[in-house]
């Protein structure tokens, strides 16, 4: 084998100054139980896992295990999110609580939703929350629409990563607008991660082939028939898509076929025709 | 003045100080005073759990639980990390 040796760890995702081997980020919702959560996340190889912040149940199941016992912050980068927040104020409040919960950890996922049916982001509120959070020292990874101008504004505010949607959260519809994602990837300096809408492994590979820095998903793994197996499929797809992007695909040549085999030395019968 | 206050199935007898009425995660509670945040967490059977607390919209650092007292009318939020993605 004469293939060049790949230097382990040379191609890493760098977010807020920290390097990660895995470019797959996963959510922790919608699993049957904590055991399935743990097994799927192990199989995904993800190093950054996102969690929601909610009121503690009081007087119920006092001895129940805690998600952070299953996914210890010593092993994973815990990315608290603002899922379910519809105003900048609620998102900021949630993340201040998250920072206290995680002993001052400042890397967060901001999302401010605009509509309960589509879960589309409310971008004016997202921009407003991002400004406040950056001023308070948070390292903000911002979920956003696939509008290149708004994505750039998030970068200008000081977000450490910008995370445009592929399609609606939890819809599994895949990448609806690769062209907009491409513009965002090409124009931003900070990492761009495709977040939301991935349905299956090929969607993740396509996202990575576009040149994005990573993919964040939850439902595509948790709601697969076999979540642990799908987690592995996503891991492989993200790796394959990244390798494909780095390798550089051949140019598309519409309507121009080009045989891979030599055209010389073909056996010919008298009746054969040029193809 | 003597007050009997029922909290979590126990009767507290105490003198001098009236109980405080607070809201915890949206539910009203009446608890004996004086009460620190550390005592509140004990009362809620949450001691030792990883959580964060907010009083009237402001974070109460865990390092201050032992010597910060609750006041009548406080609105308290106690949160934890749960499974969630987007």
Asked whether this complex has an ipTM greater than 0.85, the answer is no
Q: Which residue is listed with tokens 């969690």? A: A51
Contact assignment for A55 to B61 by CB distance below 8 Å: no
Q: B48 and chain A: CB distance < 8 Å anywhere? A: no
As a whole number of angstroms, the distance between CA A198 and CA A182 comes to 16
Average pLDDT of chain B is 85
Contact assignment for A101 to B24 by CB distance below 8 Å: no
Q: Which residues of B touch A195 (CB under 8 A)?
A: 86
Backbone angles phi and psi of A250, in degrees to 5: -65, 155
**What local confidence, expressed as pLDDT, does residue A268 receive?**
81
**What local confidence, expressed as pLDDT, does residue A269 receive?**
80
Q: Which residues of A touch B51 (CB under 8 A)?
A: 56, 101
**What local confidence, expressed as pLDDT, does residue A148 receive?**
97
Measure B43 CA to nearest chain A CA, in Å: 10
Measure B1 CA to nearest chain A CA, in Å: 31
Contact assignment for A30 to B82 by CB distance below 8 Å: no
Residues 6+ apart with CB under 8 A from A35: none
Q: Which residues pair with A193 in a beta bridge?
A: A214
Measure A55 CA to nearest chain B CA, in Å: 4
Taking an 8 Å Cβ-Cβ cutoff, which residues of chain A contact chain B?
Answer: 26-31, 37, 50-56, 58-59, 62, 66-68, 78, 80-81, 83-84, 93, 96-98, 100-102, 111, 119, 143, 169-170, 195-196, 216-219, 222
Other Cβ atoms closer than 10 A to A251: 6
Q: What is the pLDDT of residues A237-273, one digit of tens each?
A: 999 999 999 999 999 988 988 889 988 888 888 775 6
Interface test with chain B among A37, A85, A100, A223, by most B beta carbons within 10 Å: A100
State CA A223 to chain mean position distance. Answer: 17
Q: What angle separates helix A227-247 from helix A34-44, to the nearest 10 degrees?
A: 20
> Where do the DSSP E strands lie in B8-83?
10-15, 20-24, 27-31, 52-55, 58-60, 75-83
Longest distance between any two alpha carbons in chain A, whole Å: 90
User: C-alpha distances in angstroms, A40 versus A66, A82, A139, A222?
Assistant: 17, 22, 27, 8
**What average pLDDT score do residues B4-11 get?**
58
- Where residue B47 falls among pLDDT bands split at 50, 70, 90? confident
Q: What is the pLDDT of residues B48-59, one digit of tens each?
A: 888 999 999 999
Counting every residue written for chain A, the total comes to 275
Closest Cα in chain A to B51: A101
Burial A15-44 (b: 16+ CB within 10 A, else e): bbeeebebbbbbbbbbbeebeebbebbebb
Q: Which residue among B24, B50, B83 sits closest to A28, beta carbon to beta carbon?
A: B83
**Cα angle, residue A105 at apex, residues B50 and A222 outer, rounded to 5°:** 70
Q: Which residue has the higher pLDDT, B1 or A163?
A: A163
Measure B27 CA to nearest chain A CA, in Å: 10
Q: Which residue among A30, A54, A143 sits closest to B79, beta carbon to beta carbon?
A: A54
Q: Which residue among B27, B54, B81 sits closest to A51, beta carbon to beta carbon?
A: B81
Q: What angle separates helix A227-247 from helix A201-209, to the nearest 10 degrees?
A: 20
Q: Which residues of B touch A222 (CB under 8 A)?
A: 85
**What local confidence, expressed as pLDDT, does residue A263 receive?**
85
Closest Cα in chain A to B82: A52
Contact assignment for A62 to B83 by CB distance below 8 Å: no
As a whole number of angstroms, the distance between CA A245 and CA A214 comes to 12
**DSSP per-residue string spanning A21-81:** S--EEEE--S-SSHHHHHHHHHHHT-SEEEEEEEEPPSSS-TTPPPHHHHS-TTTSEEEEB
**What local confidence, expressed as pLDDT, does residue A274 receive?**
58
Other Cβ atoms closer than 10 A to A231: 25
Contact assignment for B85 to A29 by CB distance below 8 Å: yes
**What local confidence, expressed as pLDDT, does residue A58 receive?**
83
**What local confidence, expressed as pLDDT, does residue B3 receive?**
52
Cβ contact A101:A79 at 8 Å: no
As a whole number of angstroms, the distance between CA A18 and CA A1 comes to 34
Residues 6+ apart with CB under 8 A from A45: A21, A22, A24, A235
**What local confidence, expressed as pLDDT, does residue A4 receive?**
41
Cβ contact A184:A146 at 8 Å: yes
Q: CB burial class (10 A; 0-12, 13-18, 19+) of residue A235?
A: buried
Which secondary structure element, helix H or strand E, spans residue A233, and what is its range?
helix A227-247
Digits of tens for pLDDT over chain A (275 positions)?
344 444 455 799 999 999 999 999 999 999 999 999 999 999 999 999 999 999 998 876 666 788 998 999 999 999 999 999 999 999 999 999 999 999 999 999 999 999 999 999 999 999 999 999 999 999 999 999 999 999 999 999 999 999 999 999 999 999 999 999 999 999 999 999 999 999 999 999 999 999 999 999 999 999 999 999 999 999 999 999 999 999 999 999 889 888 899 888 888 887 756 55
Supply the residues of A annotated as catalytic. Answer: 109
For A102-199, where are the alpha helices, taking DSSP H only? 123-135, 148-157, 178-187
**Cα angle, residue A123 at apex, residues A202 and A77 outer, rounded to 5°:** 55
């Amino acid at each position: 084998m004469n293939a060049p040796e790949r230097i382990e760890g040379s191609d890493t995702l760098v977010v807020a100054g920290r390097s990660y081997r895995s470019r797959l980020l996963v959510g922790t919702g919608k699993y049957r139980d904590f055991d399935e959560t743990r097994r799927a996340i192990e199989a995904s190889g993800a190093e950054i896992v996102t969690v929601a912040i909610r009121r503690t149940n009081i007087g119920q199941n006092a001895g129940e295990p805690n998600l952070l016992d299953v996914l210890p912050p010593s092993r994973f980068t815990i990315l608290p999110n603002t899922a379910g927040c519809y105003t900048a104020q609620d998102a900021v409040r949630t993340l201040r609580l998250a920072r206290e919960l995680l002993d001052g950890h400042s890397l967060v996922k901001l999302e401010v939703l605009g509509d309960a049916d589509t879960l589309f982001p409310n971008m004016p509120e997202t921009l407003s929350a991002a400004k406040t959070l950056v001023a308070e020292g948070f390292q903000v990874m911002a979920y956003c629409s696939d509008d290149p101008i708004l994505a750039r504004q998030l970068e200008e505010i000081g977000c450490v990563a910008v995370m445009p949607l592929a399609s609606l959260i939890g819809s599994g519809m895949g990448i609806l607008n690769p062209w907009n994602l491409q513009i965002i990837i090409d124009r931003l300096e900070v990492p761009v991660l495709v977040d939301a809408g991935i349905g299956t492994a090929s969607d993740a590979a396509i996202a990575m082939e576009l040149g994005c820095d990573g993919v964040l998903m939850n439902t595509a793994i948790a709601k697969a028939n076999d979540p642990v197996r799908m987690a592995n499929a996503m891991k492989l797809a993200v790796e394959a898509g990244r390798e494909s992007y780095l390798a550089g695909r051949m140019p598309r040549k519409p309507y121009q076929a080009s045989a891979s085999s030599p055209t010389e030395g073909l056996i010919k019968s008298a009746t054969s025709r040029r193809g | 003045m003597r007050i009997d206050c029922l909290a979590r199935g126990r009767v507290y007898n105490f003198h001098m100080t009236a109980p405080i009425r607070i809201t915890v995660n949206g539910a009203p509670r009446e608890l004996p005073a004086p009460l620190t945040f550390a005592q509140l967490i004990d009362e809620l059977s949450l001691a030792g759990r990883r959580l964060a607390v907010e009083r009237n919209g402001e974070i109460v650092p865990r390092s201050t639980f032992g010597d910060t007292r609750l006041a009548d009318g406080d609105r308290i939020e106690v949160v934890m990390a749960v499974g969630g993605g987007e």
